[in-house]
Structure 1
């Protein structure tokens, strides 16, 4: 156990007991506390299980030679601060002479208790977050936490679809299952409505309520765009997929919509897609695209476009990426140039800001190094009818 790790153990133990760590070690430092440790000390309201585990972790570095009375005093919630300080002071000489790596290193570089305490102050400002992380990790291990992943099922075969038996399946399900096995995490993947993960709020994209509330730990099968990065955090991409916008018109284009000149035209956009007005405005060769006004943009609150949507919303065309999961090719045509709507044509997942699942990307990297990821890609054709476009 390294010096910083043991220091954190001591501070976390104090915090879990509701004790001012600086008051415990030396009253001189009490004035430096800003309320982080509940000034004044006294019996803590929390149980003694977690503090005891922390003390045992520290005791492991001492090879089991931490005095029993000191272990009991540090882990008990009934020992008042003055008595706890007295117990520590009593055993300090004994601890300092132990032949453990930690205390030998401490005493070799820090000859007085006072200089060591100054170093503890450096951890003071970050203790709150460290404590939260420790508790979160302890709870997850204790309860066997289950991570929930949501997907919208609009990409289709071979990535995500419902088979003839009514089961959710596809490359994405195989991929998430393998990532969680590598990471030794308990995971579940389920269907999630678009608005639970990402939706349009006024003129901007925002994180959905399902993601923000913790209903989903991660939403899958989304393109990484600059707009979305303002409200969510993306993982590494899992596979490549076309992400461009084209114009959808009724079969045969009976209204003679000109995809090369949209000046003054009413254009529809599906609310959750990255093929939005911002993307359309990047089209250099389409007249009226750069100056396209939000007044002429109509957001369609639909998952699948039908001919009636054109009359109901009074639009000339719908700008969207040409996925047949979103429209019936017998009723519509896709015309005009394909306008790229993200920096890269790659799909990945995202989490809410400040809740990045680092273990996910780490497990994915391990899969790529071991070849498991590429093996899954090859097996997709046999299992799901066509090969996945892996990176």
Structure 2
């Protein structure tokens, strides 16, 4: 565990959240934050054999916190979370453009679904929709995990799966496919945050500092820059995707 002023964070989120924490929140709290891209299963992992579980790096205190992890029902059993850094994302079923196989998300009986590993969009999340989706509790033979989210697109092309199930945070993949369902809201309880061990008191200084930053002029300037970027490169998106209360 780092000392009272030095903290190591694993980072995998977009540049806005990184900038928010690195330049603003840690500075406002008077903390020295070291950011590392630990990769792999440092924070969280999901496998066909063992399902979803906490990553070895966070359990062993290799990092103090993992940036950009949403509080899911499963994760909350193992770890704690700070206040959200970005708004809550949405989860959908995705298919090839035009839905050539006529996938019906309301009936998953006999369907194979692709999931990206290490994400909260897992079979447990899907199963919580059994009241409105037939066959929502998938058999193991219907579940296929992909280490690289982009592999879901190839799997759909090969008809290895009938649909992918993932968050709109994976925007490059989502933009190449077609949304085939209503938004699924049972995967997370809030937006991406810092995921921490339950014995780690980071929230005591992080949350007040975050609230200070969200009220700052600099934060509004960051969000304005994001709007300008989206208007130029990602038509149809806005800073509402990554900015809180802007």
How does the TM-score come out when normalised to structure 2?
Answer: 0.80
Match of 2:179 in 1: 334
Shift of 1:317: 0.9
1:152 aligns with 2:6: no
* Counterparts of 1:329 and 1:253, CA distance in 2: 14
Match of 1:218 in 2: 65
Structure-to-structure mapping, 1:240-259, within 5 angstroms: 240-244=87-91, 246-259=92-105
1:365 aligns with 2:208: yes
* Counterparts of 1:196 and 1:309, CA distance in 2: 26
Q: CA RMSD in A?
A: 2.7
Match of 1:374 in 2: 215
Match of 2:164 in 1: 318
* Higher helix proportion: 1
**Corresponding residue SS for 1:240:** coil
Match of 1:300 in 2: 146
Structure-to-structure mapping, 1:1-391, within 5 angstroms: 140=3, 146-153=6-13, 160=14, 169-193=15-39, 195-201=41-47, 202-244=49-91, 246-283=92-129, 284-289=131-136, 291-310=137-156, 314-327=160-173, 329-330=175-176, 332-354=177-199, 356-358=200-202, 360-368=203-211, 371-375=212-216, 376-384=218-226, 385=229, 387=239, 388-390=242-244
**Corresponding residue SS for 2:125:** helix
* Counterparts of 1:229 and 1:366, CA distance in 2: 23
Q: For residues 313 and 149 of structure 1, do their structure 2 counterparts lie closer, same or farther at Cα, with a shift above 3 Å needed?
A: farther
String of CA shifts for 1:91-126, please: whole Å, max 9, x gaps: xxxxxxxxxxxxxxxxxxxxxxxxxxxxxxxxxxxx
Shift of 1:349: 0.9
Shift of 1:227: 0.5
**Corresponding residue SS for 1:220:** strand
* Counterparts of 2:33 and 2:164, CA distance in 1: 37
Alignment gaps of 5+ in structure 2: 230-237
* Counterparts of 2:97 and 2:138, CA distance in 1: 25
* Counterparts of 1:334 and 1:230, CA distance in 2: 30
Is the 2:8–2:65 Cα contact (8 Å) retained in structure 1?
A: yes
* Counterparts of 2:159 and 2:8, CA distance in 1: 36
How many residues in Structure 1 have an aligned counterpart in Structure 2? 230
**Corresponding residue SS for 1:199:** strand
* Counterparts of 2:172 and 2:186, CA distance in 1: 17
Is the 2:146–2:152 Cα contact (8 Å) retained in structure 1?
A: no
How does the TM-score come out when normalised to structure 1?
Answer: 0.53
String of CA shifts for 1:321-340, please: whole Å, max 9, x gaps: 2334351624x211112111
String of CA shifts for 1:298-326, please: whole Å, max 9, x gaps: 11221324532236682111111233435
Q: Relative contact order (C-alpha < 8 Å, sep 6+): which is higher?
A: 2
Q: For residues 233 and 363 of structure 1, do their structure 2 counterparts lie closer, same or farther at Cα, with a shift above 3 Å needed?
A: closer
Shift of 1:203: 4.2
Is the 2:103–2:180 Cα contact (8 Å) retained in structure 1?
A: no
* Counterparts of 2:122 and 2:33, CA distance in 1: 32
Shift of 1:224: 0.5
* Misfit runs of 4+, over 6 Å: none
Shift of 1:379: 1.8
Shift of 1:372: 3.1
Is the 2:42–2:56 Cα contact (8 Å) retained in structure 1?
A: yes
**Corresponding residue SS for 2:173:** coil
